[in-house]
Chain A
Amino acid sequence: MMGRRLIPSALAAAALLVSAEAAAGSFDGYGQYIPDPAAVVSLDFGADFDPEAQRHVPPETPGACLTPGFQLKEGPDALDGTDFLHVQTYSEESCVERFLVDLPAQQGSYVARLWMRHGSIDAQLTVLYPDDSGLDTVAAKLAPTGRMTSDGWVELTTNEVPIDGALASHIYLRVYDADSIGSDIDALEIVPAGVYWEQRSCAGTADPVCGPGAVCRHNRCRLGRLSVPPLPDDDVRDEMVDVMQSQLRVFFGGRKNRLANLPAALDKLDGIRQAATAWDFWNGWATAFVLLQDWHTEAYGPLTSIERRARLSACFIEGDADASASAWPKHPKFRDLLVSHTGLSGTHGISQGDRLVAVDGQHPFDWALGLKDVRWSLWRANDDLVFSELAEHMRGMILDHATTFSVLKCSTITGTCNEVPETYVVADLPDDTGSQVRCDNRPFYHFTGGGNPSLDHSVGFAFFQGRIANTTPQEAIFGLLWDTLYGGGDPNGWVNSHIKDAYTYFKQNARGVILDHRAGNGGTVDASEVTTTLVRPPEAVLVMTSPNEFAGFDGPETPAEGIAIFEKYQSLYAMEVGSTSYDPDMPVALLLHRDGSASDFMPFGMKGAPKVKIFAQGPTAGAFSTYYQYVYWGGISWRMATGDSIASDGSPLIGHGVAPDVVVEQKQSDLLAGRDTVHEAGLAWVRDNLKP
């Protein structure tokens, strides 16, 4: 490695390892940059920068990224000196550039700063350690302080980053050019700041070993500040919080969420005005989004995408643990959690039909709801009575946050369960990043022949169709299994054409249909409408006042007001269900489990059709809106629901999922016997109502 400039005097200062206040570089009266004299690395991309030596290319780099994605440039408008770097990477392959730096061969704490201009970049300081060091890779995002220059330069900074310079194998600035047209960077400085923080293991989120400002994720303490922008200075912080609150007040909605959840989120944002640390500020901001309790609404940051350490290739669904009722009592509020299905490996001996009775000693949902302050991606239904999203994400949350989880093991041979649960210590699960079975809320598949999804339960954007197993050709009961409703406005596109083609076939060949949409991921309304064309005549069933039509609108207060809204927008935003060519004699069983957004709209449009029955354990998510997306610097982005939908009877629909016509809970005894309770119920009804 070469070309990294160390300032001897600063090195000496760093050697003292004192907690230092990081002072940024300054400017003279003409705006000429004056580097920070305390910097231990100061890179102005001038003569001392050796691109050959300082460019780091990991061995696994894709071929498309081997060509340097940067150019050295010279000009009077360089921020520091006369040189700067123009970074222009190949975004199709997510190519990044890495520039090595040297730091003192000792433990220290530093802040990295960089100036950029034009376009958009993602910048990060990365520290790699050898596998035998016992230390994890450290990645710290750079985000703006608010300092900027009249000629376009913007100052980015990390928060304090602990680095063991003696053990690190590579320390580099990583730059990703987000727009392919390139950005300029200059004046990279790394300055001692703060005190070294020892990496450590932890048992789970409840383990206090991580200390303030750190959270336990996947059994390692994670310094929150490495994954968030800096704490806004006092002179702009209130203004920032005011705008954050304003965005929610103006755009967030639906009625239920505005009335029930928005006040708590606004209070949370008020609280971060007094935040003492960057982590307190930004984690508080993200927690406000959790408090909105909305299926679409979520904040993202680098901490939301940490790679898991272990695996748990098993999926959980709610149900009725009738086979283990005597061993473990039901919760007064929540359903039981059952193992829907497992992968072929990585199951730790957990099997289909087992029962998850506790996580960290609590009912799994009680435990999960306690993660509001630490899990930005806590996925909730808008409907307060729906927890299917928590169940589907349960195994991920366990690996991420739990110390222990307890499973009542059962036997598929005897159909009985142990009296005492087996408790797993998450930290004791072996390191294993192998694949996990997908959780689609379907314990079994039911098509004849080879028409079923693969054993990894990967449905995604695929469609599966065929005759239902264990039925006779004369019964002619067919099914369609799919999770996406992303029609994208194309009536002949992948999704809409699949649904239409299936319906054409059903009309010609079927006497009964089972639609299995138990992991309804939503999409666009056109596909929801197309799905209803088999079962009912045309009708406008709701209007989508989403995004919101008026700022801060809390929704209709009375049915009469709601009906007026419906009538006002019926010609503009109606969901038009049905078709004149529907089949009035075709019995259709719609199977649901965890469904939201367009997968709320679709069952709303199906419900009440003359020969449709919805079979599910409970309502859909009640996420009757679209959303807006926003992106910030440093890997931060968020999504916020906006608007509502108003039914023809004037009801605002957000927060009120579509209730099943037939409530069917998956029974544990059925799982152990190889039976899919919900499917069986649907099939029985179709058989009783076959098309003549």
Chain B
Amino acid sequence: MLNSRRLAPRSFGSATAVGLALLVALGLASAGCVSEELKPVPLTTTGSSGSGGAPVPPAYKRTVEKRNPFGGRVGNLMVDGDFEHSIIREGSGAQIGWLAFNGDGMFTYLRGETGGLCRTGLRCAILQSGHSFYGKGTSAADGGMVGEVWAKVPAGKLCGVVRPALFYCNLSGFEVSIPPVKDEPDDRGWCQYRVAVTGASRRMCMWIDATLDPGERALVDSVALLPTDGTAPVRGPAPMAPEREARVRAASRWVRDRMPFGRPPPLEPALGPE
């Protein structure tokens, strides 16, 4: 049986301006993405006669844009700041840019979100309650860097529930926490975290955890570690809280012990052509 698609007749009006206004309101005209030119809006009118009423927009609306699917920022010292290359097949133990650890400190699958739910690129990471992220990076030659993280926190929560920090990958017991720029998220629910560090003498990694309630989750995206530009507050290292240090130390040991010096199979599943 072959069903012909019934393309619903669509009436077209002159509501392009509505779509453009929507785009602007959602802040999608920013750099790094290209908003798609949209077709005219189909109009439905109020009133039983079908004429003379005001246009009624559909109950559900979305915007469309184009982004670089490879993600990333040039010069980023994080291995995969945009999470575009770390959402891999479940169960793959891998030398990827981000690792996730659960509440028991066990290595677990890094779950991802997609598209415009993310801040940049096509993928971002889901930080589940009780979980932590271990992000791999390096350091600028002169040791001066700006660390930046974006997180979308649960509705009603302040930015402080997500707690990113920089630390030496080999773990010295010290961290530089990356504070939120503002206490409250922006109108899209995203929080920006920024800090500058100076004099880093070793490879830097990033630890991200959160004080989420059970069942809550945050999105994390657009993580960068870039040469300093003087626009972020400089923070010095401080001792990690003991509980956090224990978790970071366990994760660091996990990473170190499994640091591969060999040839693993490719990350993608060998499913064959059929």
New A-B contacts (13) at CB < 8 Å, excluding given A152-B116, A637-B267:
A4-B2, A28-B38, A29-B41, A94-B271, A152-B114, A152-B117, A229-B69, A246-B75, A296-B263, A489-B253, A548-B138, A551-B77, A631-B268
Known contacts A30-B61, A236-B67, A637-B267; A598 and B34 CB within 8 A of each other = no
> Is A77 an interface residue when CB atoms closer than 8 A count as contact?
yes
On whether the beta carbons of A5 and B202 are closer than 8 Å, the reply is no
Give the distance to chain A from B179, nearest Cβ to Cβ, in Å. 24
> Is A69 an interface residue when CB atoms closer than 8 A count as contact?
no
On whether the beta carbons of B262 and A91 are closer than 8 Å, the reply is no
On whether the beta carbons of B138 and A547 are closer than 8 Å, the reply is yes
Give chain B residues whose Cβ lies under 8 Å from the Cβ of A627: 95, 260
> Is B245 an interface residue when CB atoms closer than 8 A count as contact?
no
The interface-forming segment of A172-180, A349-357, A465-473, A666-674 is A172-180
Residues 146-164 of chain A, each 1 if its beta carbon lies under 8 Å from chain B, else 0: 1111111110000000000
Q: Specify the chain A residue showing the minimal Cβ separation from B89.
A: A178
Contact of B68 (CB < 8 Å), options: A116, A146, A304: A146
Give chain A residues whose Cβ lies under 8 Å from the Cβ of B140: 550-551
**Restricting to A70-99, which residues have a CB under 8 Å from any CB of B?**
76-77, 91-92, 94, 96
On whether the beta carbons of A521 and B263 are closer than 8 Å, the reply is yes
Give chain A residues whose Cβ lies under 8 Å from the Cβ of B60: 30, 76-77
> Is A132 an interface residue when CB atoms closer than 8 A count as contact?
no
Residue pairs across A and B with CB atoms within 8 Å: the count is 332
> Is A27 an interface residue when CB atoms closer than 8 A count as contact?
yes
On whether the beta carbons of B270 and A243 are closer than 8 Å, the reply is no
Give chain B residues whose Cβ lies under 8 Å from the Cβ of A247: 72
> Is B45 an interface residue when CB atoms closer than 8 A count as contact?
no
- Given the complex of chains A and B, what is the CA–CA distance between A39 and B170 in angstroms? 55
Q: Specify the chain A residue showing the minimal Cβ separation from B95.
A: A629
Known contacts A91-B91, A179-B109; A6 and B138 CB within 8 A of each other = no
**Restricting to B101-144, which residues have a CB under 8 Å from any CB of A?**
109, 111-117, 122-123, 136, 138-141
Contact of A116 (CB < 8 Å), options: B57, B114, B170: B114
- Given the complex of chains A and B, what is the CA–CA distance between A646 and B88 in angstroms? 32
> Is B163 an interface residue when CB atoms closer than 8 A count as contact?
no
On whether the beta carbons of B116 and A5 are closer than 8 Å, the reply is no
Query: What residues make up the interface of B, taking CB atoms closer than 8 Å to A?
Result: 1-5, 7, 10, 15-16, 18-19, 22, 26, 28, 34, 36, 38-42, 57-77, 79-80, 84-91, 94-97, 109, 111-117, 122-123, 136, 138-141, 169-170, 202-203, 253-254, 256-264, 266-274
Residues 607-641 of chain A, each 1 if its beta carbon lies under 8 Å from chain B, else 0: 00000000000000001011111111101110100
Give chain A residues whose Cβ lies under 8 Å from the Cβ of B38: 26-29, 31
7 A-B pairs with C-beta separation under 8 A: A154-B115, A246-B75, A523-B260, A547-B136, A549-B202, A625-B261, A630-B85
Q: Specify the chain B residue showing the minimal Cβ separation from A58.
A: B274
Please provide the 4 A-B residue pairs with the shortest distance between their CB atoms, ordered closest to farther: A489-B257, A522-B262, A29-B19, A31-B62
Residues 283-319 of chain A, each 1 if its beta carbon lies under 8 Å from chain B, else 0: 0000000000001100010101101000000000000
- Given the complex of chains A and B, what is the CA–CA distance between A119 and B136 in angstroms? 22
Give chain A residues whose Cβ lies under 8 Å from the Cβ of B259: 524-525, 626
- Given the complex of chains A and B, what is the CA–CA distance between A65 and B169 in angstroms? 41
On whether the beta carbons of B72 and A246 are closer than 8 Å, the reply is yes
Give chain A residues whose Cβ lies under 8 Å from the Cβ of B22: 29-30
On whether the beta carbons of B116 and A151 are closer than 8 Å, the reply is yes
